[in-house]
Amino acid sequence: MENIITVSSLKKSFKTNHVLKDVSFTIRKGSIFALLGSNGAGKTTAVRILSTLSKPDGGKATIGGYDVERQGDAVRAMISLTGQFAAVDEVLTGRENLQIIGELKRLPNIKSKVNEWLGTFGLEDAADRPVSTYSGGMRRRLDIAMSLMGNPKVIFLDEPTTGLDPQNRLAMWDLVKNLAKDGTTVFLTTQYLEEAEHLADHIAILHEGKIIAEGTPGKLKTIMPQRGAHLNFASDADAQKALQLLQQNGIAVGGLTQNMPSLEEVFLTLIGEKKEGESHE
Amino acid sequence: MSKQKPRLFYDAKVMFKRCMKIALRNPEALVQATLTPIFLMLLFGAVFGNITDVGDYSYVDFIIPGIILQAVAQATSYTAINVNTDMMKGIVDRFRSMPLAKSALLIGHAGASIMRNVMTTAVIIGTAFVVGFTPKGGLVDWLIASGVLLLSVTAITCFAVFCGLKAKTPESASGLMFPLFILPFVSSGFAPTETMHVAIRWFAEHQPMTPVINVVRSLMLGHPAGNDLWVALAWAVGISVLAFALAVRRYMRKMG
Ligand SMILES: Nc1ncnc2c1ncn2[C@@H]1O[C@H](COP(=O)(O)OP(=O)(O)O)[C@@H](O)[C@H]1O
Ligand SMILES: [Mg+2]
């Protein structure tokens, strides 16, 4: 399959803060790409450059063959952006928000399209209420529905699950997977290794302005720190027994949970830094 | 960019509708914009109507243009607030990442602001009739007076858009508009400038709202507008062009 996004040697600084020093990656058409990095790594900065909101200081990025810096209009026609913070009109209703985007994208049959989207995102009941009355999850869904109107070829999701409860997070994962099934290329950012591994076909880890590791989840696993494992038992007593008898007798194990390394552990392994326990949010 | 022109018109129309909707969802603002001038009209008429000698006019006739400009200034501070709110929130990034004409958002805000002011002004004039306003101007006088008012509304709107872009918070955006709330009271709007203290009089006679008020009052009451017409037009057009240029420059810099 062909590449739809290519990024090479991208650089961006804010005064003396060199946020992106040398960032390169390519994304295949129709795949899910995850840019993984801790808070402040520069994920949003990268997304803003790719979605034509900000100019890089150096390097080059293209989407569908168009240069994001010089052919902004062509790029904007292909993409949609769901930023880290919901971009919705609070005083308007969900329906009105969708309607306006439909009109700006000049879609045919906007009314029925809007109803369709409201249904898909479970917002029918809240459709005619002002967005200011929505919960965080509903707002996020509306935000994404607005982005999906007009079927963009590439969709940027900047930390789509940050701040969502587990149930809404799972729903978001399903949504992302379904998008990719339909052929949309998904560019998402996340702070969670687990999320990237679960969703993405391709992961790039951004740390201190550079991509320090890149590849399929399977490939990354082989170079990541060793994972431990949790054994779950029905009761404390079982667990105690198990500790003593596990080697001799097979005691029933209720479940096996993988112990994901934290991002910090990943960084430490990948860049071989063993000192400095700088904490990330 | 040959497709930019129809795009601008269409996008600006959608943005205009959006801005009108947002404004109509703020009932306090609407009520305030309409009730304050009506209240002022009644209050001033009752309190000062008998003691203020305004020559050949009845006091209500005299103060209508000042009331209108005061209302416009007040109502337009919401334009500054709305522009600022849009610029500071994620919504502008959504618009920026869509293939839209860049200035459509500003034009939508400005258009909605002018439309709201036209509506408010119509309500004020309607109420004025109830209170005893007896205009004597002919159709042409009214047309010219309306034109001058429309240009003044445009000037104040352009200034408000600029304030909305310049400020960092909605509160400070409307704060930048504050001088405009005062100007109508230091003009020929509520008392003839001849009755004022010399320094205030000089200011009142040289600030832009005085010629606008004089023209509108003269024409509505069937008197010739005289030289004030050209001074008023020069101010309105001058401020509109300058504020618009500054606003667009600021906007484009923000939009990258
Ligand atoms: N407009 C800006 N002006 C100055 N500094 C910025 C700006 N945007 C981001 N930064 C800085 O760039 C760094 C990366 O920010 P960001 O891209 O938002 O990180 P992430 O999205 O990965 O959390 C941070 O140190 C942040 O303070
Ligand atoms: Mg971010």
CA distances from residue A60 to A11, A69, A213, B196 in whole angstroms, order as listed: 9, 8, 20, 66
Of ligand 1's listed atoms, the one at least distance from the Cα of A42 is 17
Count the neighbouring beta carbons within 10 Å of the beta carbon of residue A233: 17
Q: State the Cα–Cα distance between residues A39 and A27, nearest whole angstrom.
A: 23
A20: part of which helix (H) or strand (E)? strand A17-28
> Are the beta carbons of A92 and B21 separated by less than 8 Å?
yes
A256 strand-pairing partners = A231
A60 strand-pairing partners = A8
Residue of A nearest to B256 (CA): A54
B9 lies within 8 A of chain A by CB: no
Q: The whole model's pTM is what?
A: 0.86
Q: State the Cα–Cα distance between residues A176 and A173, nearest whole angstrom.
A: 5
ipTM score of the complex? 0.87
Whose CA is closest to atom 24 on ligand 1? A40
Whose CA is closest to atom 16 on ligand 1? A42
Q: State the Cα–Cα distance between residues B55 and B107, nearest whole angstrom.
A: 42
Measured over all CA atoms, what is the biggest interatomic distance in chain B, rounded to whole angstroms?
A: 63
Q: Tens of pLDDT along chain A (281 residues)?
A: 689 999 999 999 999 999 999 999 999 999 999 999 999 999 999 999 999 999 999 999 999 999 999 999 999 999 999 988 889 999 999 999 999 999 999 999 999 999 999 998 999 999 999 999 999 889 989 999 999 998 899 999 999 998 888 888 888 899 899 888 888 999 999 999 889 999 999 999 999 999 999 999 888 877 776 666 666 666 667 766 766 776 565 555 555 455 567 776 777 777 664 444 444 44
Q: Which residues line ligand 1 (CB under 6 A)?
A: A 14, 17, 19, 37, 39-45
Q: State the Cα–Cα distance between residues A6 and A3, nearest whole angstrom.
A: 7
- A187 in helix, strand or coil? strand
- A214 in helix, strand or coil? strand
B95 lies within 8 A of chain A by CB: yes
Which of A44, A162, A187, A281 maximizes ligand 1 atoms within 8 Å of its Cβ, making it the mutation to test the pocket? A44
Alpha carbon of A73: minimum distance to chain B alpha carbons (Å): 6
User: Could you give all domains of chain A from N- to C-terminal order, each with its CATH number?
Assistant: 3-224 (3.40.50.300), 228-258 (no CATH)
Sequence ranges of the domains in chain B: 4-255
Q: State the Cα–Cα distance between residues B173 and B161, nearest whole angstrom.
A: 9
Q: State the Cα–Cα distance between residues A68 and B115, nearest whole angstrom.
A: 37
B91 lies within 8 A of chain A by CB: yes
Q: State the Cα–Cα distance between residues B217 and A266, nearest whole angstrom.
A: 76
Q: Which residues contact A192 (CB under 8 A, 6 or more apart)?
A: A36, A161, A263
A201 CA from centroid of ligand 2 (Å): 21
> Are the beta carbons of A87 and B93 separated by less than 8 Å?
yes
